Amino acid sequence: MDIDRLARLLDLYLDEGLDSETKRELEEMLLANPKAREFFWQRAELNAHLRQHGQEAWGVKVLGQDGEGGDKLPTVSESRQAKPILKWIVAGLAASLMLAMVGSWILRDGGRVGTRDQVALNSSDMNASNESSLDGGQSSSVDDERPVDGLRDVWVAVLRKAVDVEWKNPLNAPSVGEPMKARRIQFENGLIEIQTNRGARIVLKGPADLEVISDMEIRCEKGRLSVDVPPPAQGFLVHTPLVKVVDRGTAFAMDVRGDTTAEVHVIDGLVELSSQVVDLPMRELREGEAVGVATDGIFNNIPAASESFPSTAEINSRTRAVINEMRQSWKQRRKAISNDPSCLVYFDFERTNDGLRGNQDTIVRNHARDAEGNGNGIIVGCDWTSGRWTGKRALDFKNVSDRVLFSVDGEHESLTCITSIRVGSIDRTFSSLLMSGDAVEGELQWKISRTGADNPMGRLRLARRSAEWDNSVSDFLSDPVIGPQRLGTWMQLAFVWDGINRTCSQYIDGELVSHDFIQTLPDSSFLRTGQLELGNWTPRGSDEVMSPVRNFNGRMDEFVMFNRAFSQSEVLAFHDLKAAYWKGQKANNWSDPSNWFAGVVPTRSDDVYIDASDEQKAVFDSGATEVLSRVIVGSKTGRFGELEISGGSLFATRNSDRHTRVGVAGGVGIVTQSGGEVDLNTLQIGLDPSSQGTYQLSGGNLLLSRGVSATMSSLEIGPQLGRGLLEISGGTLMTRRGVTLGRDGGTGVFFVRGSKASRIDIGSFRDFDGFWVQNTGSTLKVRVDDEGVSQIRVHETTADDGANVHFSNGALLDVGFEATPSAGEWDILKWDGDLVDEGLQFASHVDTDVWSFSFVDTDSSGSPDTLRITAQP
């Protein structure tokens, strides 16, 4: 027997490479010789082990393959790799019904994924491009890996819905409607729904940390989730640190809190539980039953409460609410666009109530104020369909003749076009977005191009004809960023032609995808409009045209053209309907629409971003805001934001799990409040590495009316490696829950300056007790004035032993005089609960010959309730 030949044939068999000839040869060998059959099993078992090993190593980046999912976070798979092999075997068993197999879903051109009415919210892997080619034909620079990567990839699940989600790493967040590979998903709050390729549906509520391992297996470290498993996904597996749950045709809910506790509630059918901690027999759990697991790994029966878990109904209703809010925001923005004097064309594709009624189906009205009825679009072909949300109208382009014709006269030194589309498929080399066929200098053509080398990825491409007499064009191209996974999801595309700065930029969903210099002669850096078409092209120039058929396949529900250049922030603001971005153009009054990008003052449930230079701080001095979601001041590395509040009422309590932040993600933020009412859910000052936040309260009232969970503070100063300062020299501060100074490596300063603040009440608002947690390196700073110093009170509101005070070893106390030094003693912090003091100490510069501090039992209860400082100058 030729063992080498047998090995070669067996390997071909295992790699699915046999043809009829080699198959016959292999089978003859196997039938003829028992040794061959023995060798067959040796090789086949190695093959099976390799597969098992390969699946367990799932998620580990394939060596040297860049751009894969872009997940820079350590995945659970990676961390698991470090564990001993025995653990692996256990995990292998755990993966038991290893149905856990990798659903391999080949996405081809034209494949559609995702829900129809969702808006894809971000595009994490887009890169700016500096590429420019002037040949008007094939692109010269092609990324070798990308196209193949897009051609076939292992997609295991799709993110169907995401409501009010705050991703832990926004740059790497999945988009709604996009298929996803095995990956880790982390978010602080909000609600998502994932469906695996086997049909298992997971609704998950943050804070959550979940790894999608395959279409039959997930691992959850943290979060509240409900899982609905249809027959094709029977055997679906949920790993958690304490318990493993195998579905047996069910719906069930879980609450997972890392390695401390887990609960499993069966809503329907039954599941099997195995302890991950101790060696227990498998436990079966039926409808209406529930089990809790603590660190000991033992199963304990608990009352079933599956109705308290996130459900499809809940996510649907929240989605509807969000869509409603988006629609409201969109209507307001629509008004602002129409009134913008720079707006040349605005098609919103909605029904109109004017004289066009008879031609509703064939005319799309131009809403630009100064168009005065000119520039209406003539619809040729096209079907009416639904747009980004239920009730929004859109045009469906499908046929080679479908198009919208309109005309806009003139040459434009600067031009911005923004459109909202849903690509059905990229059928051709060029899919037209906005095209001119005039064949004159400056003619513009905006399209999605897909050359053979890029297949199946598309690029955003703006072309400008350089001269009337020849076919030469300047091309501005993005990287091939429109992949098959974007098909069927809504995107907002934009180009900005800036003839003054001589740049051309393109955007997808507010993210820059190309930025190039315009290389024409200085006096000819204009774009010419004229006869235009949406979604198609009619060449009118030379007869020799490359790819004459250029129709777009997809939907469009908004198109707008301005004769000025938008900034990047403005494009982003245009895209993000749930956020308002400070522009600070005209004086600095909050209530002036022209101070906000997209010209709309923050409305109900908006996230408000204030980033500007110090000359352009936002001033809020009168009136009342609608109920906002939150306010972010100083939101990114290199950004500085300032908000001054001197009157009026500012509310940011719309979504209970949204925190207002001052200095986040590396940004620097300052809020000064000298008057007015400010009502926030929770306040985080100086969050994340290298962020700095300052909140100075000298008058007015600051109310922090929520804490996200039982352990969550209402006020955090310096969490997560950030640096934060709260300075109170007047007014009142009231919170519902506790205060944390410095968390996870950050440092915070709570500064009480003098005696003018009338109340500093922690935990006095409504239910829940206050608490005070001061971690190592964080400081309680007080300055005594002639009247003394305002006292901080930590209240017990319920009867469950809260209102405790905790000083870590190395927590600092910084004391001094605001005015003339004088002898005396002052009670600076008072609490109703217990004290844990691991080592509060004076800051190094405090003169300990003058100052001392003590914990005092003022009510003779037997335990200290007051922090008292004493000065003897």
Partner 1 sequence: MLFGANDLNSTAPTHRDHVNALFVLHSPRIRGFILSLLPNMSRADDVMQETFLTITAKAEDYERETNFVAWACTIARYKVLEECNRNQKTSLMLSPDVIEAVCVSHSPMTPDEEEGRLAALKDCMDALAPHTRRAVELRYSRAHSAAEIAKLLGWSTDSVYVVLSRARTALQKCITTHLKAVG
Among 171, 282, 467, 624, binds partner 1 (CB under 8 A): 282
Report if residue 33 touches partner 1, rule: CB under 8 A: no
Rounded Cα–Cα distance for residues 128 and 515 (Å): 7
- CB-based burial of residue 503 (10 Å sphere; 0-12 exposed, 13-18 middle, 19+ buried)? middle
Q: What are phi and psi of 512, to 5 degrees?
A: -65, 125
Report if residue 13 touches partner 1, rule: CB under 8 A: yes
Task: Specify the stretch interacting with partner 1 by CB under 8 A; choose among 24-32, 489-497, 530-538, 589-597.
Answer: 24-32
Q: What are phi and psi of 284, to 5 degrees?
A: -95, 140
Q: Which of 195, 190, 151, 200 lies closest to 177 in space, CA to CA?
A: 195
Task: Specify the stretch interacting with partner 1 by CB under 8 A; choose among 126-134, 147-155, 366-374, 842-850.
Answer: 147-155
Residue 60: CB minimum distance to partner 1, A: 7
Among 1, 5, 42, 359, binds partner 1 (CB under 8 A): 42
Among 1, 5, 11, 519, binds partner 1 (CB under 8 A): 11
Residue 452: CB minimum distance to partner 1, A: 14
Residue located via tokens 């039992």: 857
Among 14, 363, 439, 453, binds partner 1 (CB under 8 A): 14
DSSP secondary structure of 611-647: ---GGG-EEE-SSB----SEEEES-STT-EEEEEE-S
Rounded Cα–Cα distance for residues 662 and 389 (Å): 33
Which of 274/376 has CB closer to partner 1? 274
Number of residues that bind partner 1 (CB under 8 A): 84
Residue 200: CB minimum distance to partner 1, A: 13
Residue 216: CB minimum distance to partner 1, A: 8
What is the pattern of x (binds partner 1, CB under 8 A) and - over residues 796-835?
A: ----------------------------------------
Residues 104-143 that bind partner 1 (CB under 8 A): 104
Note whether 527 and 502 are within 8 A (CB): no
Which of 197/492 has CB closer to partner 1? 197
Report if residue 34 touches partner 1, rule: CB under 8 A: yes
Which of 101/326 has CB closer to partner 1? 101
Report if residue 7 touches partner 1, rule: CB under 8 A: yes
**366, two tokens:** 């131009």
Rounded Cα–Cα distance for residues 458 and 476 (Å): 13
Residues 165-224 that bind partner 1 (CB under 8 A): none
Residue 489: CB minimum distance to partner 1, A: 24
Residue 193: CB minimum distance to partner 1, A: 24
Report if residue 299 touches partner 1, rule: CB under 8 A: yes
DSSP secondary structure of 502-534: TEEEEEETTEEEEEEE--S-GGG--EEEEEEEE
CB atoms within 10 A of CB 696: 18
Residues 232-251 that bind partner 1 (CB under 8 A): 234-235, 246
Residue 824: CB minimum distance to partner 1, A: 48
Task: Specify the stretch interacting with partner 1 by CB under 8 A; choose among 280-288, 406-414, 436-444, 458-466.
Answer: 280-288
DSSP secondary structure of 748-762: EEEEEESS--SEEEE
Residues 667-726 that bind partner 1 (CB under 8 A): none
Report if residue 280 touches partner 1, rule: CB under 8 A: yes
Task: Specify the stretch interacting with partner 1 by CB under 8 A; choose among 15-23, 135-143, 473-481, 484-492.
Answer: 15-23
Rounded Cα–Cα distance for residues 425 and 575 (Å): 22
Note whether 590 and 618 are within 8 A (CB): yes
Report if residue 302 touches partner 1, rule: CB under 8 A: yes
Report if residue 284 touches partner 1, rule: CB under 8 A: yes
Residue 212: CB minimum distance to partner 1, A: 15
Report if residue 335 touches partner 1, rule: CB under 8 A: no
Note whether 680 and 649 are within 8 A (CB): no
Q: Which residues contact 643 (CB under 8 A, 6 or more apart)?
A: 610, 617, 618, 619, 620, 631, 633, 669, 670, 671, 672
Residues 418-447 that bind partner 1 (CB under 8 A): none
Residue 196: CB minimum distance to partner 1, A: 13
Report if residue 298 touches partner 1, rule: CB under 8 A: yes
Residue 2: CB minimum distance to partner 1, A: 14
Rounded Cα–Cα distance for residues 706 and 713 (Å): 8
Among 25, 30, 111, 338, binds partner 1 (CB under 8 A): 30
What is the pattern of x (binds partner 1, CB under 8 A) and - over residues 46-65?
A: xxxxxxxxxx-xx-x-xxxx
Q: Which residues contact 486 (CB under 8 A, 6 or more apart)?
A: 120, 123, 178, 423
- CB-based burial of residue 646 (10 Å sphere; 0-12 exposed, 13-18 middle, 19+ buried)? middle
Which of 28/468 has CB closer to partner 1? 28
Q: Which of 212, 222, 305, 218 lies closest to 262 in space, CA to CA?
A: 222
Which of 4/354 has CB closer to partner 1? 4
Residue 524 sits at the vertex; the CA angle it makes with 518 and 526, to the nearest 5 degrees, is 70
Among 1, 2, 5, 8, binds partner 1 (CB under 8 A): 8
Which of 15/859 has CB closer to partner 1? 15
The DSSP output letter for 305 is -
Report if residue 269 touches partner 1, rule: CB under 8 A: no
Which of 78/117 has CB closer to partner 1? 78
CA–CA distance from 750 to each of 329, 669, 694, 723, 775 (Å)? 37, 16, 10, 11, 12
Report if residue 301 touches partner 1, rule: CB under 8 A: yes
**Strand residues in 118-215 grouped as ranges (E):** 132-133, 157-167, 179-180, 183-196, 201-214
Report if residue 19 touches partner 1, rule: CB under 8 A: yes
Which of 99/121 has CB closer to partner 1? 99
Which of 52/503 has CB closer to partner 1? 52
Q: Which residues contact 201 (CB under 8 A, 6 or more apart)?
A: 160, 193, 194, 195, 227, 228, 229, 312
Rounded Cα–Cα distance for residues 593 and 601 (Å): 5
Which of 62/799 has CB closer to partner 1? 62
Report if residue 144 touches partner 1, rule: CB under 8 A: yes
Rounded Cα–Cα distance for residues 546 and 428 (Å): 12
Task: Specify the stretch interacting with partner 1 by CB under 8 A; choose among 296-304, 433-441, 771-779, 792-800.
Answer: 296-304
Rounded Cα–Cα distance for residues 185 and 618 (Å): 35
Rounded Cα–Cα distance for residues 812 and 278 (Å): 43
DSSP run (H or E) holding 830: strand 824-831
Task: Specify the stretch interacting with partner 1 by CB under 8 A; choose among 37-45, 470-478, 530-538, 828-836.
Answer: 37-45
Q: Which of 309, 324, 235 lies closest to 272 in space, CA to CA?
A: 235
Per DSSP bridges, beta strands 527-534 and 430-436 are: antiparallel
Note whether 471 and 164 are within 8 A (CB): no
Among 31, 313, 799, 823, binds partner 1 (CB under 8 A): 31
Residue 478: CB minimum distance to partner 1, A: 24
Report if residue 152 touches partner 1, rule: CB under 8 A: yes
Report if residue 303 touches partner 1, rule: CB under 8 A: yes
Q: Which of 855, 859, 853, 863 lies closest to 801 in space, CA to CA?
A: 863
Report if residue 321 touches partner 1, rule: CB under 8 A: no
Residue 22: CB minimum distance to partner 1, A: 8
Rounded Cα–Cα distance for residues 502 and 516 (Å): 9
What is the pattern of x (binds partner 1, CB under 8 A) and - over residues 65-104?
A: x-------------------xx-xx--xx-xxxxx-xxxx
Which of 154/721 has CB closer to partner 1? 154
Which of 46/467 has CB closer to partner 1? 46
